[in-house]
Structure 1
Amino acid sequence: MSTKNNKLRFIDEEKTKELQKDWKGYGKSQVLFGIVVFVIFVLSALYYYIL
């Protein structure tokens, strides 16, 4: 069992902590990007239905 655990555990905990910090910032930018895309989609849909 111990050999399998060592093989499966190839990600360092220190690196994952750094990645979690990056993912938090990435999450904020992802949400803002999603809002912008959604606003563009809504505006284009309204423009399409008005015309």
Structure 2
Amino acid sequence: MGLIQYLKTDEELKELRSRWKEMYSAPFPPYNWDEYDGIEDYKTQIRNKLKDTTGQ
């Protein structure tokens, strides 16, 4: 499975996308090789952004 297919079909990312749409009008952050240190870091960064707004 290629990276693009994985990003589209990963269940956790689907859930994060759904939560993102509920909280933000901005588009879901795209995966960028230069910005994240792998897929797990990408998920962690998004989780943290979602947690920051819900924990306040």
TM-score, normalising length from structure 2? Answer: 0.32
Report the TM-score, using the length of structure 1 for normalisation: 0.34
Greater gyration radius: 1
Q: Which has the higher contact order (CA 8 A, sep 6+)?
A: 2
